[in-house]
């Protein structure tokens, strides 16, 4: 075997913190060959990003490489001085960051930013930089590169910004590209376009790629080999086919189980002996609970009107779960804010439990009797909890405001709720920053169900969570629906997650519903082109040998 | 780590946790520790000054005028034979009182106006904004002079004047801090929990915008002390023979030419030390009130 392009041995990274030294990465071995695509998969806190920072020597001041060696193309990165490193960075190894908008300088034209890196590394002169930059813009498939050269980051969409970041990263023809969650925060269709572009450019240039992601499906679609990390250690490393055919480590198995597949049910995401698994029993669907009739929300002046939600009508029955799927900017959040009565609609009617609530202004609805029957679980569990309030205080708040309970009753209710959502009682007095993402999500759910609502809007409730936590939270939501006989309106960009909980799905595009139908039918026979595009863009892990009755290894799915 | 936090979540642990956090903030940044030590010293001088000093700060002694610093009179004596050390220490209370009251008024009124402007936006915001701009348009010290001269030469008026010129800083800061949190997830969640607007503003948004305001309060304190001393230096507000740093510097300035430097230098140093302490205190205070730092 040839000498690998990158050879990391026994890498250990430590961080000095207030509570002593924390080892973020423990004895990690990774090697990448020329032209190979390696995926590092792990959940938050697994040390996957820290590994890549160590590789580029861009760790925080508190972090240091405690042990091990990093050899890149014959250069010892661990011992190299700062000058050698700045030569290497950008020119030999470059990186694509998670948030493309934050990675670009907001007050400099994007073309200039591409020029900067080429001039910095002596690959272009002031005279020919412009031409080269435009060539790079062409290479990342940006239309009208001549015009886009002068664009500022705020004028471009998230996907376009990520293309610019890729152009900057590839401008010096590096040998290794590190992509740290390059598509988090992008829509699925954009994610597919960006990932296809990275893979294509890497193949064209014989470039090695290190893809860091939390999404096993994404890694499966685009990588040759996968390294699975947990708590700073590599637990498994194998070629994609082997890994999916026979995962060895229990953590890998758990991760694979938790990643939703095309055919999995919500209970399948957790091991068969896990008591948190939701039962498949369903309450019968009752009479209509929410009727939305030609709902419109328009922004801007009459002459220059933009309709965020355009003539939306649907019915949600008692005990039913309805999915609302669409990409960013399609109007799904505006819709949920109007139904939640946080935003006043321009026109249209909302009939909830028999009374028209659209006529009550958002301001008055805050203390309307129906307020308690209409609750919501927010997208970001961290943002939705007051950082100065303990978990208990957050859960209590709706009951204090809308229910007359004494101190004793409140405490009992909070304990019952905490138990219901699986939050250990001793965590109730902690502040949000002392809780993990999954625990914060539980606090948010406990608060939402505190008043026993009839309709719960779930606004991407698992988008900010790791897959294994997502599995638990989805099962919790499924169980609670049966216990409390609630209806769900599940809003998401991810059809794969929506189908786990919903009976019916609506697909929304540019403020309008383009397709609606029972979940299974919509997914198996999508009639609208947009639904098909959405479905095709979802990266799926290959079917697992152990979950279906076949022992033969399945070919990896390279593009779906 | 986990055992630590779970053990300290009990009620009686709250004080101990605060003390531990205080100790951490001190040891993490020695400058903060120095600032806190000086602050404690200033507070002691303000509270117990009159009982601690060796001489009556108002007692004149014609037999020992304009004496240089000695073991008997640490900071020397002034032109009426009064002990400068005693006067400097006793003056702390008055200067601190003016500054604290002025800053407290400015903080309460300014941040309330600013928070309402930031929360509701629109006309409320525009009117408050223009009002604050008008105050800011004046040279602030001259405005304070004008207010005291017009309203009458009393300590209360010095306090009001200092509060008025500090208002815009709090109003602007509160406005920004509230406006960025207006659409936060926990604010939306509070609406769903049935909270009315004023409750959301008072209990959800405002406490979360406190940490940066703490820094402002501390910096402002130093400035307010300087301002009060400045006003009495030019003869407004406090009148002799009350011990006050500004007056003492003003009186002492006449004697510098003739070589009796101690009359002006020691009150000046005290003034400088107080301003310096409050400026340093800011960062430490922010670390202390920010729950995110408390892990």
Q: Please, what sign has the CA dihedral across residues B115, B118, B121, B123?
A: positive
Average pLDDT over residues A212-230: 89
**pLDDT above 60 (res A558):** no
Contacts of B210 (CB under 8 A, 6+ apart): B289
Predicted confidence at residue B13, as pLDDT, reads: 66
Q: Please, what sign has the CA dihedral across residues A241, A245, A247, A248?
A: negative
Listing DSSP states for A344-412 in one string gives --SEEEEEETTEE-TTS-HHHHTTSGGGGGEEEE-S-TTTTS-TTS-HHHHHHHHHHHHS---HHHHHH
Q: Is B152 left (phi over 0), alpha (psi -120 to 50) or beta?
A: left
Q: How confident is the model at residue B8 (pLDDT cuts 50, 70, 90)?
A: very low
Classify residue A361 as exposed, middle or buried by CB count within 10 Å of its CB (0-12, 13-18, 19+): exposed
CATH code for position B136: 1.10.3720.10
Q: Domain range for residue B94?
A: 15-293
Quick one: which of B46, B50, B144 has its CA closest to B97? B46
**pLDDT above 90 (res A298):** no
**A156, A110 contact by CB (below 8 A):** yes
Quick one: which of A96, A97, A111, A92 has its CA closest to A172? A92
In terms of C-beta distances under 8 Å and separation of at least 24 residues, what long-range contacts does A247-256 make, across chains too?
A247/A544, A252/A228, A254/A468, A255/A41, A255/A43, A255/A216, A255/A228, A255/A467, A255/A468, A256/A216, A256/A541, A256/A544
**pLDDT above 80 (res A11):** yes
Predicted confidence at residue A466, as pLDDT, reads: 84
In a domain, A271, yes or no: no
pLDDT over 90 percentage in chain B: 13
Question: Which residue, A145, A173, A201, sits at the end of a domain?
Answer: A173
CB–CB of A434 and B295 under 8 A?
yes
Average pLDDT over residues A461-467: 83
Q: Please, what sign has the CA dihedral across residues B171, B175, B177, B182?
A: positive
**Chain B residues within 8 A (CB-CB) of chain A?**
1, 4-6, 9, 24, 28, 184-186, 188-197, 199, 204, 207-208, 291-292, 294-295
CB atoms within 10 A of CB A17: 12
Average pLDDT over residues A334-348: 88
Give the closest-approach CA distance of B204 to chain A in angstroms. Answer: 7
CATH code for position A23: 3.40.50.300
Quick one: which of A316, A360, A314 has its CA closest to A341? A360
In a domain, B231, yes or no: yes
Listing DSSP states for B23-88 in one string gives HHHHHH-HHHHHHHHHHHHHHHHHHHHHHHSSS-TT---GGG-SPPP-SSSTT-B-TT--BHHHHH
Instruction: Write the residue in A19, A375, A387 that is nearest to B1 by C-beta.
Output: A19
CB–CB of A384 and B189 under 8 A?
yes
Q: Can you give the C-alpha Rg of chain B in angstroms?
A: 23
**Same domain (yes/no): A255, A224:** yes
**pLDDT above 60 (res B12):** no
Average pLDDT over residues B22-42: 83
In a domain, A114, yes or no: yes
In a domain, A281, yes or no: no
pLDDT digits over B43-102, tens only? 998 888 888 877 777 777 777 777 777 877 778 787 777 888 888 888 888 888 888 999
**Same domain (yes/no): A205, A236:** yes
CB–CB of B186 and A388 under 8 A?
no
Average pLDDT over residues A58-71: 84
Q: How confident is the model at residue A446 (pLDDT cuts 50, 70, 90)?
A: very high
In a domain, B6, yes or no: no
**pLDDT above 80 (res A470):** yes
Predicted confidence at residue B291, as pLDDT, reads: 58
Say which residue, A257 or A550, is predicted with more confidence. Answer: A257
Distance CA A62, CA A53 (A): 13
Q: Report the DSSP pairing between strands A63-72 and A75-76.
A: antiparallel
**Same domain (yes/no): A182, A102:** no
Q: How confident is the model at residue A553 (pLDDT cuts 50, 70, 90)?
A: very low
**pLDDT above 90 (res A283):** no
Predicted confidence at residue B293, as pLDDT, reads: 58
Find the residue in B nearest to A377 (Cα): B189
pLDDT digits over A197-207, tens only? 888 888 888 89
**pLDDT above 60 (res A104):** yes
> Given strand A6-17, what is the order of strands in its sheet?
A20-32, A6-17, A63-72, A75-76
Q: Which helix (H) or strand (E) holds A158?
A: helix A158-170
Listing DSSP states for A92-119 in one string gives TEEEE-S-HHHHS-TTS-HHHHHHHHHH
Find the residue in B nearest to A367 (Cα): B194
What angle (nearest 5°) sits at the alpha carbon of residue A542, between those of residues A538 and A547?
A: 120
Select from B186, B197, B206 the residue whose CB has the most chain A CBs within 10 Å, as the one to mutate to test that interface. B186
For residue B201, give the DSSP letter: I
Give the closest-approach CA distance of A387 to chain B in angstroms. Answer: 8
**pLDDT above 60 (res B3):** no
State the SS3 of A411-460: HHHHHHHHHHCCCCHHHCCCCHHHCCHHHHHHHHHHHHHCCCCCEEEEEC
Distance CA A378, CA A435 (A): 17
CB atoms within 10 A of CB A371: 24
Question: Which residue, A173, A203, A237, sits at the end of a domain?
Answer: A173
**pLDDT above 80 (res A549):** no
**pLDDT above 90 (res B112):** yes
Distance CA A182, CA A210 (A): 11
In a domain, B269, yes or no: yes
Predicted confidence at residue B110, as pLDDT, reads: 92
**Farthest CA pair distance, chain B:** 77
Distance CA B133, CA B145 (A): 19
**pLDDT above 60 (res B1):** no
Predicted confidence at residue A47, as pLDDT, reads: 85
Predicted confidence at residue A244, as pLDDT, reads: 87
Q: Please, what sign has the CA dihedral across residues B45, B49, B52, B55?
A: positive
In a domain, B7, yes or no: no
The count of structural domains within chain A is 3
Predicted confidence at residue A551, as pLDDT, reads: 34
**pLDDT above 80 (res A150):** yes
Give the closest-approach CA distance of A140 to chain B in angstroms. Answer: 35
Chains A, B: CB contacts within 8 A come to 81
Q: How many CA atoms lie within 13 A of A254 on its CB side?
A: 18
Instruction: Write the residue in B4, B186, B196 that is nearest to A385 by C-beta.
Output: B186
**Same domain (yes/no): A105, A65:** no
CB–CB of B6 and A426 under 8 A?
yes
pLDDT digits over B212-246, tens only? 888 888 888 888 888 888 888 888 877 777 888 88
The SS3 of residue A4 is coil
In a domain, A282, yes or no: no
Predicted confidence at residue A506, as pLDDT, reads: 92
pLDDT digits over A421-440, tens only? 888 888 888 888 888 888 89
Predicted confidence at residue A16, as pLDDT, reads: 83
Q: Which helix (H) or strand (E) holds A236?
A: strand A233-239
* Averaged pLDDT score across all residues of chain A: 85
Distance CA B135, CA B126 (A): 14
Average pLDDT over residues B120-137: 90
**pLDDT above 80 (res B289):** no
**Same domain (yes/no): A167, A186:** no
Predicted confidence at residue B5, as pLDDT, reads: 40
Say which residue, B251 or B107, is predicted with more confidence. Answer: B107
Q: Domain range for residue A323?
A: 288-526+533-537
**Same domain (yes/no): A21, A66:** yes
| A115-149 b/e (C-beta count within 10 Å ≥ 16 → b) | bbbbbebebbeeeebbebbbebbebbebeebeebb
The SS3 of residue A224 is coil
Max mean pLDDT among A276-280, A296-300, B236-240 falls in A296-300
In a domain, A80, yes or no: yes
In a domain, B225, yes or no: yes
Average pLDDT over residues B159-167: 90
CB–CB of B194 and A386 under 8 A?
no
In a domain, A109, yes or no: yes
Distance CA B174, CA B207 (A): 11
**Same domain (yes/no): A41, A5:** yes
**pLDDT above 90 (res A372):** no
Find the residue in B nearest to A390 (Cα): B9
In a domain, B126, yes or no: yes
**Same domain (yes/no): A211, A141:** no
In a domain, B217, yes or no: yes
Predicted confidence at residue B290, as pLDDT, reads: 67
Chain A contact set for B208 (CB, 8 A)? 386-388
**Same domain (yes/no): A255, A296:** no
Predicted confidence at residue A548, as pLDDT, reads: 36
- CA dihedral (A420, A423, A429, A432) in degrees, to 10, reads -120
Chain B contact set for A376 (CB, 8 A)? 188-189, 192
Beta bridge partners of A41: A213, A228
**Same domain (yes/no): A310, A442:** yes
Select from A45, A388, A398, A448 the residue whose CB has the most chain B CBs within 10 Å, as the one to mutate to test that interface. A388
Q: How confident is the model at residue A328 (pLDDT cuts 50, 70, 90)?
A: confident
The count of structural domains within chain B is 1
Average pLDDT over residues B108-122: 91
**Same domain (yes/no): A252, A376:** no
CB–CB of B208 and A386 under 8 A?
yes
In a domain, A351, yes or no: yes
In a domain, B106, yes or no: yes
């Amino acid at each position: 075997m040839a000498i690998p392009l990158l050879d990391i041995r026994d890498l250990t990274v430590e961080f000095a913190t207030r509570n002593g030294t924390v080892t973020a990465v423990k004895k990690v071995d990774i090697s990448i060959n020329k032209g190979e695509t390696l995926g590092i998969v792990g959940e938050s806190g697994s040390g996957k990003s820290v590994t890549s920072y160590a590789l580029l020597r861009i760790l925080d001041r508190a972090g240091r490489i405690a042990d091990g060696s990093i050899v890149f193309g014959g250069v010892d990165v661990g011992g190299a001085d700062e000058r050698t490193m700045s030569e290497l960075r950008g020119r030999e190894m470059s990186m694509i960051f998670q948030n493309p908008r934050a990675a670009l300088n907001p007050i400099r034209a994007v073309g200039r930013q591409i020029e900067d890196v080429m001039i910095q590394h002596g690959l272009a002169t002031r005279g020919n930089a412009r031409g080269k930059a435009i060539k790079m813009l062409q290479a990342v498939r940006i239309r009208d590169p001549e015009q886009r050269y002068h664009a500022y980051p705020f004028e471009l969409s998230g996907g376009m910004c990520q293309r610019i970041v890729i152009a900057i990263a590839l401008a010096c023809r590096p040998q290794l590209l590190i992509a740290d969650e390059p598509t988090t925060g992008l829509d699925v269709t954009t994610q597919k376009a960006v990932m296809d572009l990275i893979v294509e450019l890497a193949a064209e240039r014989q470039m090695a790629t290190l893809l860091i992601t939390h999404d096993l499906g994404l890694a499966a679609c685009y990588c040759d080999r996968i390294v699975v990390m947990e708590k700073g250690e590599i637990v498994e490393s194998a070629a994609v086919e082997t890994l999916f055919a026979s995962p060895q480590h229990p953590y890998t198995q758990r991760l694979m189980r938790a990643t939703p597949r095309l055919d999995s049910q919500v209970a399948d995401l957790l091991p068969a002996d896990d008591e948190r698994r939701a039962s498949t029993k369903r309450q019968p669907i009752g009479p209509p609970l929410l009727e939305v009739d030609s709902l419109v929300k328009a922004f801007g002046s009459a002459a220059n009107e933009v309709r965020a939600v355009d003539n939306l009508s649907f019915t949600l029955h008692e005990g039913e779960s309805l999915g609302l799927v669409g990409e960013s900017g399609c109007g799904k959040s505006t819709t949920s804010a109007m139904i939640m009565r946080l935003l006043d609609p321009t026109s249209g009617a909302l009939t909830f439990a028999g009374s028209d609530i659209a006529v009550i202004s958002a301001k008055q609805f805050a203390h309307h009797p129906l307020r308690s029957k209409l609750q919501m679980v927010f997208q970001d569990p961290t943002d939705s909890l007051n950082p100065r309030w303990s978990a208990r205080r957050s859960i209590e708040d709706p009951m204090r405001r809308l229910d007359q309970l004494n101190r004793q009753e409140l405490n009992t209710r909070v304990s019952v709720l905490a138990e219901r959502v699986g939050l250990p009682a001793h965590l109730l007095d902690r502040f949000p920053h002392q809780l993990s993402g999954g625990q914060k999500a539980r606090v948010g759910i406990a608060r939402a169900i505190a008043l026993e609502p009839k309709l719960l809007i779930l606004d991407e409730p698992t988008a900010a969570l790791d897959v294994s936590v997502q599995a638990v939270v989805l099962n919790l939501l499924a169980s609670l629906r049966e216990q409390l006989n609630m209806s769900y309106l599940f809003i998401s960009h991810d059809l794969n997650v929506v189908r786990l909980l919903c009976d019916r799905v609506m697909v929304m595009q540019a403020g309008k519903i383009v397709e609606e139908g029972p979940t299974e039918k919509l997914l198996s026979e999508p009639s609208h082109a947009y639904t098909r595009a959405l479905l095709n863009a979802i990266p799926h892990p290959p079917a697992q040998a152990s979950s279906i009755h076949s022992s033969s290894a399945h070919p990896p799915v390279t593009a779906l | 780590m986990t055992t630590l936090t779970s053990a300290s979540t009990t009620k009686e642990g709250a004080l101990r946790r605060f003390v531990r956090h205080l100790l951490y903030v001190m040891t993490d940044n020695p400058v903060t520790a120095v600032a806190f030590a000086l602050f404690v010293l200033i507070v002691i001088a303000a509270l117990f000054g009159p009982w601690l000093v060796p001489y009556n700060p108002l007692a004149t002694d014609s037999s020992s005028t304009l004496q240089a610093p000695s073991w008997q009179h640490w900071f020397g004596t002034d032109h009426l034979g009064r002990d400068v050390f005693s006067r400097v220490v006793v003056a702390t209370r008055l200067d601190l009182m003016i500054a604290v009251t002025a800053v407290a008024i400015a903080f309460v009124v300014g941040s309330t106006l600013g928070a309402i402007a930031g929360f509701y936006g629109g006309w409320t915001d525009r009117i408050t904004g223009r009002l604050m701009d008008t105050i800011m348009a004046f040279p602030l010290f001259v405005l304070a002079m004008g207010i005291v001269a017009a309203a009458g030469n009393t300590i209360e008026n010095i306090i009001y004047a200092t509060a008025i010129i500090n208002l815009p800083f709090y109003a602007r800061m509160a406005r920004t801090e509230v406006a960025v949190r207006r659409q936060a997830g926990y604010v939306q969640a509070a609406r769903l929990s049935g909270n009315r607007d004023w409750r959301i503003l008072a209990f959800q948004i405002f406490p979360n915008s406190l940490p940066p305001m703490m820094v402002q309060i501390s910096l402002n304190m130093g400035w307010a002390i300087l301002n009060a001393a400045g006003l009495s230096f030019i003869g407004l507000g406090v009148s002799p023979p009350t011990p006050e740093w500004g007056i003492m510097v003003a009186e002492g300035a006449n004697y510098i030419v003739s070589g009796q430097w101690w009359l002006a230098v020691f009150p000046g140093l005290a003034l400088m030390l107080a301003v310096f302490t409050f400026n340093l205190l800011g960062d430490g205070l922010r670390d202390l009130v920010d729950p995110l730092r408390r892990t």
